[in-house]
Amino acid sequence: MKKSKSSELFDTAKNLMPGGVSSPVRAIKPYPFYTKKAGGSKIITEDDEILTDCCMAYGPLLLGHSPQCVKEAIRNQVEKGWIYGTPSETEIKLAKIIIRDYPSIDMCRFVSSGSEATMAAIRLARGFTKKKDIIKIEGGFHGAHDGVLIQAGSGATTMGVPDSAGVIPDIVSHTAQVPYNDLESLESIISKSDDIAAFIIEPVMGNVGPILPGDDYLQEVRKITKENDVLLICDEVICGYRVGIGGAQVKYNISPDLTTLGKIVGGGLPIGVFGGRRDIMEMVAPAGPVYQAGTFSGNPLSMSAGIAMLEYIHKNSLIYQKLDENTRIIHESIPKGHSCSFVRLGSMFKLFFRDSPPRNYIEAKQSDTQKFGEFWKKMLKEGIFLPPSQFETNFISSAHTDEDIEKIAGAYSRCL
């Protein structure tokens, strides 16, 4: 049988790049499809299959692939150059939009990825508080840097064990974990130490699900951290502008000390942002002693793409209602009587192969991943590309048409 072009490309790639890919989740078995081009809600593979995309590059593409407004902004910027090594006005314009939309952010710094943003925010929290330890959520993902690569699932209040070879145990010994939606564990760990600089949390767990916060959970988290002089870092790399303008913190009415953003705010180009209280941000170099720097930070191409994206969202904020309506339609297509649960928030959604919606990582891990794997393959055969893991959120975009939604809903119902 003739090999598909994707399979041939993967055979070549495996000799050139570890696992054949530039990021592990892309190494779909037995081989990933290779994308030739993408537009709107569709991906076209190297084998000329047309797929309806519900992965949307893992989050940045709120307006779909290559939306006109971002394309034009990138083209215009390319004419003027794409990296200067000097400040440019584009940074000021994007900073103004973010600071206006996020009441908790007085100042921000641009970096080139979400990982860089959380790494810098944690260093800043330590520099500001002069304390050493951090707390994260069990199973929470904040990028691929040493201090947050902790095996999820270790006991709630134990210090972490590295999740990757090459991470020095001493580093993660300063990272504790608590389950999401569990205030008692958080209180208990905070009460036992005076050396906790920050609690970093994805307000809505995008990386395991989504998993949604219980009533008042986030408000209580804010109260406990404030009362104990622990900085609260909201990692909104996924949910920033995804769940609405101002992200999860505006939606759930909490005011963190620091926030990290990425994905959508760069219009689909590489970006990360950390920002927050002025007194904390003024500790960042060169204003203060916490060092942070980057060749590509604030590059005018990402800035221009981000500005175009956020301006479009402001002018068309009704897209959020439509996105919510569309995931509701998909939800309603799920036939009753299967042991699965559907979780959604706006344009984020997931079908978990377990009876009830998970409240934390341990519960999410009880999902039947084999069933998910079979379901995923069936969906792909129907022309729907879902993220290839039970523990990655699905996304739709404003480019998904009513016809796309009908197709996705129909496929969900048939493939179950």
- Which residues make up the interface to ligand PMP (CB under 6 A)? 58, 113-115, 118, 141-143, 202, 206-207, 235, 237-238, 262, 272
H/E stretch holding 348 reads strand 348-352
- The position carrying tokens 């006991």 is 155
Task: Give whichever of 137 and 280 is closer to ligand PMP, judged by the CB atom.
Answer: 137
Q: How far is the CB of 264 from ligand PMP (least distance, A)?
A: 11
H/E stretch holding 50 reads strand 50-53
Q: Which residue is nearest to ligand PMP (CB)?
A: 114
> How far apart (Å, rounded) are the C-alpha atoms in residues 342 and 18?
35
Q: How far is the CB of 41 from ligand PMP (least distance, A)?
A: 21
Please, are residues 409 and 379 in contact by the beta-carbon 8 Å criterion?
Answer: no
Task: Give whichever of 231 and 237 is closer to ligand PMP, judged by the CB atom.
Answer: 237
Q: Return all residues near 22 (Cβ < 8 A) that are at least 6 apart.
A: none
Task: Give whichever of 121 and 408 is closer to ligand PMP, judged by the CB atom.
Answer: 121
Task: Give whichever of 118 and 185 is closer to ligand PMP, judged by the CB atom.
Answer: 118
> What angle do helix axes 369-381 and 402-415 make, rounded to 10 degrees?
130
Task: Give whichever of 274 and 385 is closer to ligand PMP, judged by the CB atom.
Answer: 274
Q: How far is the CB of 54 from ligand PMP (least distance, A)?
A: 16
Q: How far is the CB of 156 from ligand PMP (least distance, A)?
A: 20
Compute how many other C-beta atoms are within 10 angstroms of the C-beta atom of residue 210.
25
Task: Give whichever of 235 and 404 is closer to ligand PMP, judged by the CB atom.
Answer: 235
Task: Give whichever of 206 and 267 is closer to ligand PMP, judged by the CB atom.
Answer: 206
H/E stretch holding 249 reads helix 247-251
Q: How far is the CB of 365 from ligand PMP (least distance, A)?
A: 18
Q: How far is the CB of 117 from ligand PMP (least distance, A)?
A: 7
> What angle do helix axes 402-415 and 319-332 make, rounded to 10 degrees?
30
Region of 26 on the Ramachandran plot (φ > 0 left; ψ -120 to 50 alpha; else beta): alpha
Q: How far is the CB of 325 from ligand PMP (least distance, A)?
A: 25
Q: What is the dihedral of CA 309, 312, 314, 319, to 10 degrees?
A: -100
Tokens of residue 161, six digits: 């064990």
Task: Give whichever of 207 and 225 is closer to ligand PMP, judged by the CB atom.
Answer: 207
Q: How far is the CB of 34 from ligand PMP (least distance, A)?
A: 20
N- to C-terminal Cα separation, the chain: 30
**254 half-sphere exposure, CB direction, 13 A CA radius:** 30
DSSP state of 164: S
